[in-house]
């Protein structure tokens, strides 16, 4: 299938316009020279929607379907305190004239940076007009959110629960489309990608990218670098792929045993806990290419990419694309750890 056919096939899905697309594909000349590798970066930190990131692409489809049915006036969603998904969902709600309630799980120890609970994404959620409730990390987040949706519906609101990371089959379609965009850019720029590296969590970004690249017949290994335990997210990503295949009416395009690759070696002591390799990655990319990564997701993913090249698991003569999935507002939640 060509990228044009793929875009055409996805055009039957309802969508709202939230993103600045296409995001640029750029050479990473500085880090590439430093590592002796052929590196490119897909700037999904530049999707727009309140400082960019991968959730904007997902929300175009996930919210699009509810809006098309006139079935939504209030969004209830979940994430960590410094969730980028929460920030971009709050921005989407503001743009679309919807109410937004965020349930944010406090996963960090009390000793976390003093700014963690009030700056970065939290500050922006507040500015964007979202109602925020911080809850303990006791496993009840999704139940609390669903209960809240039920209560709002009883009050007559058209409330909808959007899962964390907007990781639904519809959210993943945003990244199938990203694969088509990437393929077109690679053709124009003469890039022959053999490896795509990105931060993986709830799995919809990876599910969409892998499915899209397979539909396009591209021989690319997608490395999902995990940012939190459990380190292996393959089962979760496989579930997202299966949901996506059902939505697209396709079958077994992705072979999970071969096509779904996750690496859990760069998490360190846990979700959102800084590592030395993350700090090195942030500093190298900032100083050699003038690009800001984030401390929770893309910093650890870039630490993974650097290590995969240094250890030869990604050969230095093969074209590598890093997907910058955003998150830089989170930098301001870590002044003590990064300053
Ligand atoms: C900046 C950033 N990168 C990557 C991810 C992971 O994306 P996904 O949940 O689709 O695996 C997230 C999600 O929380 C994120 O905020």
Q: What is the pLDDT of residues 159-208, one digit of tens each?
A: 999 999 999 999 999 999 999 999 999 999 999 999 999 999 999 999 99
Residue 231 has pLDDT above 70, yes or no: no
Model pTM above 0.75: yes
Residue 335 has pLDDT above 70, yes or no: yes
Residue 232 is predicted with a pLDDT of 60
Q: Is the CB–ligand 1 distance for residue 224 below 6 Å?
A: no
> How far, in Å, CA of 73 to CA of 169, rounded?
21
Q: Which helix (H) or strand (E) holds 162?
A: strand 159-162
Give me the percent of the chain exceeding a pLDDT of 90: 93
Q: Round the average pLDDT of the chain to a whole number and report it.
A: 96
> How far, in Å, CA of 298 to CA of 170, rounded?
23
Q: Is the CB–ligand 1 distance for residue 166 below 6 Å?
A: no
Residue 113 is predicted with a pLDDT of 82
Task: Give the residue numbers annotated as catalytic, written as ranges.
Answer: 83
Which protein residue's CA is at the shortest distance from atom 3 of ligand 1? 325
Average pLDDT over residues 61-67: 98
Atom of ligand 1 nearest to the CA of 199: 4
CA angle 8, 162, 246 (to 5 degrees): 45
Cα of 154 vs centre of ligand 1, distance in Å, is: 32
Which protein residue's CA is at the shortest distance from atom 16 of ligand 1? 84
- pLDDT band at residue 53 under the 50/70/90 scheme: very high
DSSP 88: H
Q: Which two tokens stand for residue 44?
A: 């999904």
Cα of 122 vs centre of ligand 1, distance in Å, is: 17
Q: Is the CB–ligand 1 distance for residue 164 below 6 Å?
A: no
């Amino acid at each position: 299938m060509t990228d044009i056919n793929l875009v055409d096939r996805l055009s039957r899905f309802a969508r709202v316009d939230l993103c600045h697309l296409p995001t640029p594909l750029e050479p990473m000349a500085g880090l590439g020279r430093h590592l002796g590798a052929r590196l490119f970066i897909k700037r999904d930190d530049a999707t727009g929607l309140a400082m960019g990131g991968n959730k904007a692409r997902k929300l175009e489809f996930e919210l699009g379907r509810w809006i098309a049915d006139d079935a939504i006036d209030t969004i209830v969603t979940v994430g960590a305190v410094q969730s980028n998904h929460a920030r971009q969902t709050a921005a989407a709600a503001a743009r679309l004239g919807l109410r937004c309630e965020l349930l944010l799980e406090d996963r960090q120890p009390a000793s976390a940076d003093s700014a963690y609970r009030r700056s970065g994404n939290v500050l922006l959620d507040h500015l964007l007009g979202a109602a925020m409730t911080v809850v303990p990390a006791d496993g009840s987040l999704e139940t609390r959110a669903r209960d809240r949706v039920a209560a709002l519906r009883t009050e007559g609101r058209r409330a909808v629960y959007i899962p964390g990371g907007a990781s639904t089959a519809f959210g993943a379609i945003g990244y199938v489309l990203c694969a088509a965009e990437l393929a077109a850019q690679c053709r124009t720029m003469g890039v022959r990608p053999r490896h795509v590296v990105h931060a993986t969590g709830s799995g919809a970004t990876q599910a969409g990218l892998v499915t899209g690249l397979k539909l396009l017949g591209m021989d690319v290994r997608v490395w999902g670098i995990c940012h939190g335990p459990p380190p292996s997210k393959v089962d979760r990503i496989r579930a997202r792929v299966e949901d996506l295949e059902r939505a697209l009416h396709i079958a077994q395009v992705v072979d999970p045993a071969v096509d779904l690759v996750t690496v859990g070696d760069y998490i360190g002591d846990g979700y959102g806990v800084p590592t030395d390799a993350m700090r090195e990655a942030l500093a190298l990319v900032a100083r050699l290419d003038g690009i800001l990564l984030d401390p929770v997701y893309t910093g650890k993913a870039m630490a993974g990419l650097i290590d995969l090249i240094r250890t030869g698991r990604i050969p230095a003569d093969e074209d590598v694309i890093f997907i910058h999935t955003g998150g830089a507002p989170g930098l301001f939640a870590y002044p003590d750890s990064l300053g």
